[in-house]
Amino acid sequence: MKIKFNGKSRPEFYVEVKREVEDYFKSNNISKNANGEMIGKTLLFLGLLLLLYWLIVFVSMNLWLTLVLAILIGAVQAFIGFNVCHDAIHGSYSANGRVNKLLSYTFNLIGANAYVWKITHNTVHHTYTNIPGHDEDLDVAPGLVRLSRLEKIKPMMKYQHIYAFFLYGLASLSWVFRKDYLKFFQPKIGQTDNSSHPKGEYFNLFFFKGIYYVLFIVVPLVLMDITWWQFLIGFLCMHLAEGLVLGLVFQLAHTVEGIDYPEPNDQGYVEESWAVHQMHTTANFARKSRLAGFLCGGLNFQIEHHLFANVCHVHYPAISKIVKSVADRHGVPYHENRTFLGALISHYKTLRRFGCEEFELQAIA
């Protein structure tokens, strides 16, 4: 069933917010793309990745210190995903498409696949945000974690607000060994056709996965003076750190209190226009925290990102004031949690709500 948004539902909101954001960039003579701060962040995080990799693989040190560095390199890979890859794949890093393409390959080098992400995230998630059966970001761990009324509730799910956080830690491992292959060869993602890909992307999928496996599995096993089980512990800890950072940041944007999970009617119509739909299904967190903005690559400004994915994330703090002001004038919701901890608690409560049979019965009634 093809989803159709109600273009007559408060269309003036999106017209006005786009106009005011455009005016902000023009009046201040600012590019929507990367600035010096963004380039500095890119060099910092990529430099940290190279430094940590060199220290772990080529410098002999205490095993406990090596383990700490393995955990750090996992977190750094997540921050590269947030701060470099995400903007590049959206085409917002640079006005030059070749620059975006080149930087998007960093996503492949940390174990994921830029082409698959562009389909699942840019095309599907950004269009059908939080719509059950269409946005597969709701399928965090099918059969284990329930974030949609379409998924059958199971007795064990009443504990999902506890064990889901452990599953988030496995997100990176799944990405590297399972998720990209599954999504690439899946005929549909949600209800979106996914049956045809350029021939070159078949090569890229296996080529870059192979490079990752060589760099992060073969090279350490060959060059480091460690046993296989010591390597396995370090490799797992690296991915647990990466997965937990990835999982928490992404989940705090769409799975917190107050957020909607709209279901289309029998004709496929969603009640709101696309832009207003984004406001109902998306939340910010720690909007005034410079540290959160620096580490999360603007993903704590998820509202601004969904409305202006073509704008580099370093500009989100400034335009968030515009978006909130316009939303308030039009009576459109602007969801946000003031702190990371507040968003985390709200996410915990939301997990508990979706895993509760009593909630399901109330919803049906």
Q: What is the pLDDT of residues 304-351, one digit of tens each?
A: 999 999 999 999 999 999 999 999 999 999 999 999 999 999 999 999
- In order, the DSSP letters of 175-187 are IIIIIHHHHHT-S
* Mean pLDDT to the nearest integer, 8-26: 92
Q: Looking at residue 140, what is its pLDDT? A: 81
The answer to whether residue 246 scores a pLDDT higher than 70 is: yes
Q: Average per-residue pLDDT in the chain?
A: 92
pLDDT, position 266: 81
DSSP class of residue 132 equals: T
Q: Is pLDDT of 291 > 90?
A: yes
> For 93-111, what is each residue's pLDDT tens digit?
999 999 999 999 999 999 9
- Rounded-to-integer distance, Cα 44 and Cα 194, Å: 36
Please check the confidence at residue 2 and state whether its pLDDT lies above 90: no
Under the banding of pLDDT at 50, 70 and 90, the label for residue 361 is very low
Q: Which residues of 255-293 are buried (b: 16+ CB within 10 A; e: fewer)?
A: bbeebbbbebeeeeebebbbbbbbbbbbbbbbbebeebb
Exposure of 271 in the CB half-sphere (CA atoms within 13 A): 8
- Measured CA to CA, the distance from residue 205 to residue 185 in angstroms comes to 11
pLDDT for residue 360: 58
Angle at 295 between CA 184 and CA 94, to 5 degrees: 60
How far apart CA 17 and CA 334 sit, in angstroms, is: 13
- 358 pLDDT band, cuts 50/70/90, is low
Looking at residue 189, its pLDDT comes to 85
pLDDT at 365 over 70: no
State how far the alpha carbon of 131 is from the alpha carbons of 5, 95, 195, 269, in Å: 12, 31, 21, 11
Q: Does the pLDDT at position 239 exceed 70?
A: yes
196 has a pLDDT exceeding 70: yes
Q: Which two tokens stand for residue 154?
A: 């199971």
- Percentage with pLDDT > 70 across the chain: 97
pLDDT for 293 = 92
For the segment 178-199, the average pLDDT, to the nearest whole number, is: 90
Q: Are 327 and 358 in contact (CB under 8 A)?
A: no
Q: Contact, 45 vs 245, CB < 8 A? A: no
Three-state SS at 292: helix
- CA nearest neighbour of 108 among 226, 9, 215: 215
